[in-house]
Structure 1
Amino acid sequence: MTTTFDALRGQLLDAAATLADGPDALAGILSGIVDDVDRALAERLEIFPVCHHSPASAIAMARRLRAKQPRVVYLELCEDMAPLLTELRNCRLPVAVQAFAGEVDGFPQEWSPLSVVAPITEASAEYQAISYALDTPGVELVLVDRSTDHVYQWQPRDHDPAAEPAPAEPADAESPPAEEAAMHGDAVGVEIGDLRPRFAELEAHLLHHGRVRHWSEWWDQYVEQPLADADYDTYRQVLVLIGSLFRRLAPGRHDRVRVDEDRERYMWTRMREHLAASGTDPGDCLYVCGAFHAASRVAEFGVDGTDTFEITPRTATVWRYGLIPSSHSSIEAQFGLAAGSVSIAAAVWAKSLTRSGVTPYQLEGQQGTRKPPKKAKPVAPAVPGAPVTDQLSGFLARPPVLDRLDEDELLGWCVEIVRLARRNGYLASTADAIAVFETSILLAGMRGRARPTPYDFQDAAVTCIEKDAVPGRRDVRRLCEILLGGDRIGQVGYDALPPLARDVYDRLTPLGLKLDQRGVQRALLDIAAKPELAKCSDVLWILRYLLPTGAVRPIMGERTLGEKAIQESWDVAIGTHQRDLVEIGYEGVTIEQVLEQRLRRSVWDPQATAAVALRAVEDATLYLRSARLADELGARAVELLAAERTVDDAPEVLRRARRLLAHYRATEPVLPAWLEGFVKAGYAHYCTLLPAAFVDDEAGAQQVAAMLGFLFSMESLALSLGCDRAQLEIAVAQSHPQAPAKTALHWAARYHLGGMTRAELRERCDALLSSPLTLPAYPQYLSGFLQALEPVPGLVGFVVEAISTAFGRLPDTVLLPWLPALITTLRKEGGDLAPLLVREAGRIFPAGLAAVDAWTPPWSAAAAVPQAAARRPTGPSAATALLAGHPAAADALAALLGCEDGWQLDGGQEAHQAHQAHGLLQRHPESAEALLAAIGPG
């Protein structure tokens, strides 16, 4: 049987026999490629092959739609994204249609969150098809590709699809800004027409022999430019030919081949189902798919294919859908294209429209797209059932033709790049413009091109203008990208935003900002003069919590427990972070609801700790002012604290518990029940873990100090709630630390509980300084004492004394080698507590240098107290005589305690009360000793 492509098949077989010295696998591949083209073009349902972001595909699509006027357009795009396409008219392209799932059901938890995006640009065939179908009455648009749920269903369970990088272009192209290149996040990209060799050696071979640097440049030279003015039949045959070539030369990766074939089975099954349900004639339909899939060989291919493919049901995962901003650089980064290639495609699209006179389709009300010309060239109507003719033979043999318009355009580029270079600090001149022009032509000739391409122009500009230095922020390659269209960034319109994002825009209206504008804007909130701005402040603080860093940033003002803002200043960049705001909209209707859900999720996470729960309680109080939610989260904090077996988070628990306790004491008549339960549980919990923490190498001195700080600072409240102080005393008595820092902490704890006096502490420090074995570890002991200031702040004077004594006693030969270890240890383990020492030292030491020689340290005077006490009466009688000699202090204390009688005693009363004072001071002799030590010898 004679077919259309018999002549081409014969030519290819003869070439294969000549090159391979006989028919073999090469002949089979070449013959199979022709068979694929013949099969695709003979299908009753017209197949339109495309390549993603190809101006040639977009031009051919616009022409074919006007000629054929199909009633049904089948589009290779995830079928569950169809409802969002109507919202494209409210956006400025490029944007991406996104499906998002924050919680998974039926997929591995490590894949969460799931995200699939499909970017759409103006210079793409899919946008032309969508615009035609949505704005033409009586035309139906049907998405036939697998759903977003099936995108993840068909992935191997031991592989994270978001972690697989796209094939990257060489790194010589300038990388786009990180913020713009990451607009799609970690989403899996799906796009019509992923047409690229899947065989690395084949791509390397094509790049080498094509004398180009990367795939985007190869495609522009050998496919895009030749097809710009080709007729429709030639375009179809060439695209299917390339798709078949790459398909037949692809490596046999079972998983990827299976997914490709399942997608084709899925799409043809959906199309047959729709044809059967609607009764539409296949001749009135158009199937838009990637050229790779147009050359399919599955049994389900075609309207008359088999119906053996069974589509599996979706999982229980709940998907949310929306539109997010996209950009040329983010598309390039996601799909492994060269930097600037999509911008160049946009420039080529604009030039092709001007040259060809084709009227593109555009959604009514679309923002930022090219205005269609008033008059368009007439397009010959399609002839139903016209036979397919062989256009490949002539196209492959025809040499390219130089277009005069390209030379004029190159002149304009050369003049403009010199102007941009001057504005960016380069010493460029007219001679450089001439050099760029001539070098572009020279490079094109060396690379076998009929005319210079934008890539040749870029290389020539870098060579002739940039030289060896970049004077400003942008190099010449980046300037070329700006000249050719720049990194265009899309925007989602207000009407296309989810309800949460629209609610945020409405609530921030009083600020008078253009929230849809990219960049940073300053917002000034005078809440004292305009109380209504307090609601805007609440929204901004919640957005700061939910959005990434930089979306909203406070310049002046803070939100802390117990404080009310008067004035605030903010840097707002919501337009730049619009994608993040849209994704938050998938989680709830208002930002308060999203924040509440996230706080609940954080405390019920399997890895949650008591510190996390306390942070959630504080956030709920600060941002939501919800006592109900705070009580719920606080009850969870009590449960988590009781279940913990480590003390790693003890410092944060202490810090947050103190802050919350102070807040509730200042604002509430009684403490919440959960906070009382937390203090009671924490007292018992830390008493139980204290002996083990003292000897555990995994628990540092900061953690032990925080435990002691919790026990000592909240002891009175814990005892009032029914805790037993004996439990703390037993825990300290059972602790036997070995590390120097923890030993010092243990001494401080015993001092606080009355088991050790300050004189004993002083003696132990003197012993450490006197022994050459313990002297090297003295900085670690000091670190422990410094940490002890957290639970026992009264030791700050003693720590100053211990440090001063060491500096005064140690010779330089010992102190100088020992000093770096001391400074490093104190800075690392006690940096937050160092200000206490500085203040205490400023109080003790003389203010002037002249007074240093005559200054006597207070601890030296205290050391002389026992000697002076031996020369005069001591004990209770001396204290009684002291109080009797100074009755004013006693009268003042009595007045504070409610005693109305002053210090007016007769002889009997004086003897009686002296006897009572004698007994009291006998039971508590340390009070008299401390008082005498403070007063000094007299």
Structure 2
Amino acid sequence: MTGSPTNGPGRTPSTNGSARPSANSPGQASFAALREQLHEAATSFADGPGALEGILLGMVDDVDRAVREPLEIFPVCHHSPASALAMARRLREKQPKVVYLELCEDMAPLLGELRNCRLPVAVQAFASDVDGFPAEWAPLSVVAPITEASAEYQAIAYALDTPGVELVLVDRSSDHVFQWDSRHGERTPQEPSPPADGVPEPEAALHGEAVGVEIGDLRPRFAELEEHLLRHGKVRHWSEWWHQYVEVPLGDSDHDAYRQVMFLVGSLFRRLAPGDGDRVRVDEDRERYMWTRIREHLAAGGADPEDCLYVCGAFHAASRVEEFGVAGSGPFTISPRSATTWQHGLIPSSHAAIEAQFGLAPGSVSIAATQWAKNLKRTRVQPYRLAGQDGAKKPRAAKKAAPAVAAPPPEAAEDRLSGFLRRPPVLDTLDEAELLGWSVDIVRAARRSGYLASTADAIAVFETSILLAGMRDRAKPTPYDFQDAAITCIEKDAVPGRRDVRRLVEIMMGGDRIGRVGYDALPPLARDVHDRLAPLELKLQQRGVQRALLDMNFRPELGACSDVLWMLRRLMPHGAARPIMGERKLGERSIQESWDLALGTHQRALIELGYEGVSIEQVLEQRLRRDAYGPRATTAGVLAAVEDATLHLGGRRLADELGARALEVLAAERTVDGAPEVLRRVRGLLAYYRTAEPVLPPWVESFVKAGYAHYCTLLPTAFTDEDATVGQVAAMLGFLFSMESLALSLGCDRAQLELAVAQSRPTDPERTALLWAAQVQLGALSRAELRKRCGELLANPMVVPAYPRYLSGFVHALVPVPGLADVVVEAVSNAFGRLPDPVLLPWLPSLITTLRAGAADLAPLLIREAGRVFPARLAALDAWVPPWREAPEEGAPGGDRIRAAGGGGRGAALLFAHPGTLDAVAGLLGCDGAWAAADEGPEGPAGAVLTARHPDTAIAWESLLTGA
């Protein structure tokens, strides 16, 4: 990198360090009168020649230096109709053979695809995997929006459609944008004015989080200067000031006057900008980069600078770096690009997106488009358009081209600034027809949006616009004056519709034109999506929501479209593909589906998918791998990836690979945060593989074994860990109990679970109730003992206030032990039956809030159980006896043991009255013992042991055989 810029050849330094031409320089005489005037002005206003003189004369020196450069510099302002008009004129006059354009050099291959798009669009460079940048910056995105009313589009269209003309992009690459800018952005854009309801327009987000690159960022960087210009210009924002004082006067100026004024404005903003910081360093490095590339191209191709044109922002045209000009001598080494792989494409843009990204006033780009159309009509200049440009009007037959006018030699540059600066402003006559049309149109638009506007409001808007223009020293109302008048006269104090009057004026002035990338300019993935969805017979490139109806039973070929839509729903933002009817789960596929599709609205997201792969299957596989192997991967997340791979991609290869990864992540986890999600997904996958596959995949068996040991190890700690919730502990127990039979068949030891439960010592009421439920499931605690403990809780006045938390724990226990539903219903019923009203009424809200907060999804299970237990009719309630108070039939074998084990009711009596069936089942399970054995051991015969451990079977048989 070079140091601070020094004076060029043939120049002597001034007192303030700016470059001043020597007395014998060719341009000295050209601007002598202007220098003398500025010298006198500085003496009068600053009490003598000093800093002000140095700034003013330095600006003239900058203009002189840029004008005398052999390679013609064409300064522009981004999205300026005056710049575009002057560019079209100059291109037809000069007919340059080489056009150097200030745009990222790596975007050059994409410019030819602009003819397949409807403007505005943005050229984008995108990188999802970064190498050489901080990982938190990913994905990297750089966009350069292009509109028809912009000078860069005129230059691109001329160069691409004129034989023998070469277009060379000379600005830094997209990679250097991030290399040089440590703030991850060129400039923090101003927030656009939100609509009335506070919801931003969706079109304002078409560029996403991309960094914007624009040609001609011409705006004061000195806050006090901008504030001064706005206050004295009687305008509210910079876009209005530029339109009034620069855009309109330059619309009718000749080429020399245009160039010198733009050089002067760029020099003013350059010299009054803060002199330190990264912004200045980046600006100077960009200028060194561009001039270095220009000299390299001239040296390699041998082009004559007189036949070339350099299009750049006016801010960069007033450069003072050593590398400036084709004769620049400063050494500048361009750093190599990083190892990041960049993808390039075109994405749709809009006026609102450009305004939001670059901090322009809302509606300013639409007003510029309207001004561009008026300029063309007034001056009859024939603009350049790419052949076959989508959305462009058919050009008129061009007149016979006039011979190219040779550019005047540099030393013959004439001072046009003096006359321009002394000339009084042209007072445009009031165009009453145009203003009347605006007033009528805004009232019509307001009526459609719900405003109670009338003809009187149109007259008021007309007169108020003229009044505001007069107060602001304008002979003719500008669109901004009209906008203020419409807001004042129509909006009043309420906004009845979705858009306020400001937004209605912006739409009326030109609308928020939204670009579209044509099919031929789409990446292969996007074209493949459109081809595969062609059987739907929808215009998918149109914006808005379209309804797609898929009847796979009648048209089996639509099944492939359904597969694509489900993958798009997984990959694209919400709303791009939204199912209305139909679902896709493991083992389930709908035969009829209905979708709302908005692929045209979300075209940018679809294009960016194309940067990640050539098909949506490839992109989905890459994303699933990234989620599974990322540094923040969790067991639940990896299992979700396994489920998505099974649903959308089919086959076992990727699912088995991700399943093995889930096993690795589970072994590394030391918390139980994801236990509920792990339980839910494992249950679903296990049920799917048991029905769809002849054998379980090896990774599923390994996961069950590892999960059983893993959760047994963490269980005692989780019962006392304050960070673990009762739902997470219940999910751990649910995994252990629901996977117990499979885990034991694979070689796990049940004693490990029993030991883990025995080591658990919770102190919280919810977890205590959960532990009791686990003990019942393991046989360490009988149901009768559990009922007894619940009764003791209700009998203890000190514990009654905490009873709802015990109930919450019992409800959570239904996850691992669903057979306890009757005990929970009994516990709640006893509370309502035993507690007096003074205790129950204050206690009831706490019960409801506790159950709603912690166990809302388990409430249906309790309701079904209560509906089964309680009588269906009110008349039967008086004679109804709760089933938990019933005793087994007298004389039933093992009845005392069943009561001791917690089983009761007629179902237990039926089992013991017919012990043959129970003994046969016990024999199949490897349990030995006889009903009439004298020495039955501590647990009794095999059938009694099974019934005690699994009393739900008795209850189920009771319901089935007795119809209760």
Q: TM-score range by the shorter chain?
A: over 0.9
> Unaligned 5+ residue runs, structure 2?
1-22, 960-964
Counterpart residue identity of residue 923, structure 1: P
Distance 1:36 1:726, change over 3 A: same
Counterpart residue identity of residue 638, structure 2: A
What SS does the corresponding residue of 1:269 show, helix, strand or coil? helix
The one of 291, 295, 307 aligned to 1:284: 307
Instruction: State the shift of 1:917 in Å.
Output: 9.0
Moved more, 8-17 or 566-575: 8-17
Matching residue of 1:704: 729
Distance 1:278 1:516, change over 3 A: same
Matching residue of 1:675: 700
What SS does the corresponding residue of 1:525 show, helix, strand or coil? strand
Q: Is this contact kept in 2: 1:876–1:918, CA < 8 A?
A: no
Counterpart residue identity of residue 4, structure 1: S
The one of 119, 123, 140 aligned to 1:93: 119
What SS does the corresponding residue of 1:110 show, helix, strand or coil? helix
* Identical columns (%): 70
Instruction: State the shift of 1:172 in Å.
Output: 9.5
Q: Is this contact kept in 1: 2:656–2:699, CA < 8 A?
A: yes
**In the TM superposition, what whole-angstrom CA distance separates every residue of 1:294-313 from its partner, at most 9, and x where no partner exists?**
00000100010014000011
Counterpart residue identity of residue 639, structure 2: L
What SS does the corresponding residue of 1:161 show, helix, strand or coil? coil
Matching residue of 2:164: 138
The whole-number CA distance in structure 2 between the counterparts of 1:415 and 1:827 is: 57
The one of 87, 93, 97 aligned to 1:61: 87
Matching residue of 2:373: 350
Counterpart residue identity of residue 651, structure 2: S
The whole-number CA distance in structure 2 between the counterparts of 1:84 and 1:789 is: 61
Instruction: State the shift of 1:793 in Å.
Output: 0.8
Q: Is this contact kept in 1: 2:726–2:767, CA < 8 A?
A: yes
The one of 112, 119, 122 aligned to 2:145: 119
Q: Is this contact kept in 1: 2:94–2:405, CA < 8 A?
A: yes
Matching residue of 1:923: 941
The one of 255, 258, 274 aligned to 2:278: 255
Distance 1:855 1:5, change over 3 A: same
Q: Is this contact kept in 2: 1:876–1:917, CA < 8 A?
A: no
Instruction: State the shift of 1:107 in Å.
Output: 0.7
TM-score w.r.t. length of structure 1: 0.93
Matching residue of 1:524: 549
Matching residue of 2:426: 401
**In the TM superposition, what whole-angstrom CA distance separates every residue of 1:592-621 from its partner, at most 9, and x where no partner exists?**
000000001111001111111110000000
Note the 1:142-541 alignment, pairs <5 A. 142-156=168-182, 159-161=183-185, 165-168=188-191, 177-374=200-397, 381-386=404-409, 387-404=412-429, 406-541=431-566
Distance 1:542 1:524, change over 3 A: same
Instruction: State the shift of 1:873 in Å.
Output: 9.4
Distance 1:393 1:914, change over 3 A: closer
> Unaligned 5+ residue runs, structure 1?
900-911
The whole-number CA distance in structure 1 between the counterparts of 2:919 and 2:788 is: 37
Aligned length, in residue pairs: 916
The whole-number CA distance in structure 2 between the counterparts of 1:528 and 1:366 is: 42
The one of 752, 775, 788 aligned to 1:750: 775
TM-score w.r.t. length of structure 2: 0.91
Q: Is this contact kept in 1: 2:930–2:941, CA < 8 A?
A: no
Matching residue of 1:11: 37
Distance 1:485 1:883, change over 3 A: closer
What SS does the corresponding residue of 2:541 show, helix, strand or coil? coil
Distance 1:779 1:608, change over 3 A: same
The whole-number CA distance in structure 1 between the counterparts of 2:75 and 2:867 is: 82
What SS does the corresponding residue of 1:209 show, helix, strand or coil? helix
The reply to whether residue 839 of structure 1 matches residue 869 of structure 2 is: no
The whole-number CA distance in structure 2 between the counterparts of 1:429 and 1:30 is: 53
The whole-number CA distance in structure 1 between the counterparts of 2:613 and 2:315 is: 39
Moved more, 731-740 or 55-64: 731-740
Instruction: State the shift of 1:251 in Å.
Output: 1.1
Distance 1:677 1:169, change over 3 A: closer
Instruction: State the shift of 1:772 in Å.
Output: 2.0
Matching residue of 1:791: 816
Counterpart residue identity of residue 658, structure 2: L
The reply to whether residue 825 of structure 1 matches residue 850 of structure 2 is: yes
Distance 1:4 1:657, change over 3 A: same
The reply to whether residue 36 of structure 1 matches residue 62 of structure 2 is: yes
Q: Is this contact kept in 1: 2:193–2:362, CA < 8 A?
A: no
Matching residue of 1:906: none
**In the TM superposition, what whole-angstrom CA distance separates every residue of 1:600-651 from its partner, at most 9, and x where no partner exists?**
1111001111111110000000000121000000000011111110011000
**In the TM superposition, what whole-angstrom CA distance separates every residue of 1:140-160 from its partner, at most 9, and x where no partner exists?**
00000000000000022xx33
What SS does the corresponding residue of 1:681 show, helix, strand or coil? helix
Matching residue of 1:741: 766
Q: Is this contact kept in 2: 1:401–1:450, CA < 8 A?
A: no
- Computed over aligned residues only, the root mean square deviation of the Cα atoms, in angstroms, reads 2.8
The whole-number CA distance in structure 1 between the counterparts of 2:197 and 2:418 is: 39
Instruction: State the shift of 1:6 in Å.
Output: 1.3
The one of 551, 568, 572 aligned to 2:597: 572
Distance 1:856 1:394, change over 3 A: same
What SS does the corresponding residue of 2:181 show, helix, strand or coil? coil
Moved more, 262-271 or 914-923: 914-923
The whole-number CA distance in structure 2 between the counterparts of 1:534 and 1:935 is: 47
The one of 753, 759, 764 aligned to 2:784: 759
The reply to whether residue 22 of structure 1 matches residue 48 of structure 2 is: yes
The whole-number CA distance in structure 1 between the counterparts of 2:196 and 2:236 is: 9
Matching residue of 2:4: none
The one of 824, 837, 850 aligned to 1:812: 837
Instruction: State the shift of 1:124 in Å.
Output: 0.1
What SS does the corresponding residue of 1:854 show, helix, strand or coil? coil
Matching residue of 2:606: 581
Instruction: State the shift of 1:800 in Å.
Output: 0.4
Counterpart residue identity of residue 110, structure 1: E
The whole-number CA distance in structure 2 between the counterparts of 1:576 and 1:723 is: 54
What SS does the corresponding residue of 2:636 show, helix, strand or coil? helix
Distance 1:110 1:736, change over 3 A: same
What SS does the corresponding residue of 2:886 show, helix, strand or coil? helix
Moved more, 45-54 or 848-857: 848-857
The whole-number CA distance in structure 2 between the counterparts of 1:450 and 1:559 is: 66
The whole-number CA distance in structure 2 between the counterparts of 1:102 and 1:886 is: 66
Note the 1:556-635 alignment, pairs <5 A. 556-635=581-660
The whole-number CA distance in structure 1 between the counterparts of 2:322 and 2:53 is: 24
Matching residue of 1:45: 71
Moved more, 388-397 or 137-146: 388-397
Instruction: State the shift of 1:12 in Å.
Output: 1.3
Q: Is this contact kept in 2: 1:743–1:781, CA < 8 A?
A: yes
Matching residue of 1:686: 711
Instruction: State the shift of 1:461 in Å.
Output: 1.5
Moved more, 825-834 or 92-101: 825-834
Q: Is this contact kept in 2: 1:82–1:143, CA < 8 A?
A: yes
Counterpart residue identity of residue 114, structure 2: L
The whole-number CA distance in structure 1 between the counterparts of 2:864 and 2:785 is: 25
The whole-number CA distance in structure 2 between the counterparts of 1:666 and 1:451 is: 79
Instruction: State the shift of 1:396 in Å.
Output: 1.4
Q: Is this contact kept in 1: 2:429–2:475, CA < 8 A?
A: no
Q: Is this contact kept in 1: 2:892–2:912, CA < 8 A?
A: no
Distance 1:388 1:483, change over 3 A: same
Instruction: State the shift of 1:370 in Å.
Output: 4.0
Q: Is this contact kept in 2: 1:400–1:450, CA < 8 A?
A: no
Counterpart residue identity of residue 481, structure 1: E
Instruction: State the shift of 1:247 in Å.
Output: 0.5
